[in-house]
């Protein structure tokens, strides 16, 4: 249920696939053993006082497109202590870097909300080729971005720096494909690990809650010692 590095493997999504350790235990608690892996070493988060859930994706990945509505629905009702972020994964493939550049260009221009879902739709629903900067610029222009503004952001140092960082972090998170979810810089899960995308959401919620409890207990202990 993921795209392995540079090879796009199109398979049917098996939402009800059986998994070891999935489902409800006899005590009614969702079991997640074997449905996530540790990130070694753990990676820093944007805000150490918050619980971070990070999605690593590629616009050309059909499984990322399938997961998108699940994450969108989850993010609407996510716990208040959770920050949800996205990061385009970049491996040794020009298209991955190109699409990451598109993501960060949209972010720099303040139009990510207008571009993100339509860009997924353009590739997977409408089978539109978006494999060159010219094609991507035309797409942005259709969504109200002027060519000059696009070019300035596309070639900017800020965007290039974020693409380079995404390349580095894709390796540091230890992922071998997308979509992948990193919980608080410490754990990663995916459709392959969790068995299906509904279980992915359950794994996210379970680990995020555990991290929040640990953070709260640590903060309380620190306050008590002072």
Give the model's pLDDT for residue 195: 94
Q: Do the Cβ atoms of 114 and 144 come closer than 8 Å?
A: yes
The answer to whether residue 119 is domain-embedded is yes
Categorize the per-residue pLDDT at 5 as very low, low, confident or very high, splitting at 50, 70 and 90.
low
Q: Do the Cβ atoms of 110 and 47 come closer than 8 Å?
A: no
The answer to whether residue 191 is domain-embedded is yes
The answer to whether residue 225 is domain-embedded is no
CA distance 120 to 58: 9
The answer to whether residue 80 is domain-embedded is yes
Partnered with residue 85 across adjacent β-strands are 54
Give the model's pLDDT for residue 3: 72
Which run of H or of E encompasses 188?
strand 187-189
Beta-strand relationship, 37-38 and 187-189: antiparallel
Give yes or no for residue 6 having a pLDDT over 90. Answer: no
The answer to whether residue 198 is domain-embedded is yes
Predicted TM-score (pTM) above 0.75: yes
The answer to whether residue 152 is domain-embedded is yes
Beta-strand relationship, 180-183 and 177-178: unpaired
Categorize the per-residue pLDDT at 33 as very low, low, confident or very high, splitting at 50, 70 and 90.
confident
Give the model's pLDDT for residue 7: 41
Give the model's pLDDT for residue 14: 34
Query: For residue 102, what are the domain limits?
Result: 3-217
Give the model's pLDDT for residue 30: 59
CATH of the domain at 192: 3.40.30.10
Question: 3-state class of 82 per DSSP?
Answer: strand
Q: Do the Cβ atoms of 115 and 105 come closer than 8 Å?
A: no
Phi-psi region at 127: left, alpha or beta (left = phi > 0; alpha = psi -120 to 50): left
Chain segment 45-57, per-residue pLDDT in tens: 999 999 999 999 9
How many domains does one find in the chain? 1
Chain segment 149-176, per-residue pLDDT in tens: 999 999 999 999 999 999 999 999 999 9
Least confident of 3-12, 70-79, 130-139: 3-12
Spacing of C-alpha 62 from chain mean position: 14
Chain segment 109-120, per-residue pLDDT in tens: 999 999 999 999
Query: Which phi and psi angles does 29 have, rounded to 5°?
Result: -95, 135
């Amino acid at each position: 249920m993921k795209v392995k590095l540079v090879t796009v493997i199109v398979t049917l999504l098996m939402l009800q696939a059986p998994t070891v350790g999935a489902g409800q235990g006899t005590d009614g608690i969702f079991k997640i053993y074997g449905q996530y892996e540790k990130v070694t070493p753990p990676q820093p988060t944007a805000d150490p006082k918050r619980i971070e859930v990070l999605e690593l994706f590629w616009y050309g990945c059909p499984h990322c497109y399938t997961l998108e509505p699940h994450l969108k629905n989850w993010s609407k009702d996510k716990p208040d202590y959770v920050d949800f972020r996205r990061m385009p994964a970049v491996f040794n493939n020009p298209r991955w870097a190109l699409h990451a550049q598109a993501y960060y260009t949209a972010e720099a221009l303040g139009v990510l909300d207008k571009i993100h879902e339509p860009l997924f739709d353009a590739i997977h629903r409408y089978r539109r080729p978006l494999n060159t900067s010219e094609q991507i610029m035309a797409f942005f222009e259709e969504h109200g971005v002027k060519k000059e503004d696009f070019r300035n952001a596309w070639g900017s140092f800020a965007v290039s720096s974020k693409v380079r960082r995404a390349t580095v972090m894709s390796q540091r998170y230890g992922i071998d494909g997308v979509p992948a979810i990193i919980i608080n810089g410490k754990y990663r899960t995916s459709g392959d690990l969790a068995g299906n995308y509904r279980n992915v959401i359950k794994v996210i919620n379970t680990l995020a809650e555990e991290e929040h409890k640990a953070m709260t207990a640590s903060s309380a202990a620190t306050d008590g010692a002072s």
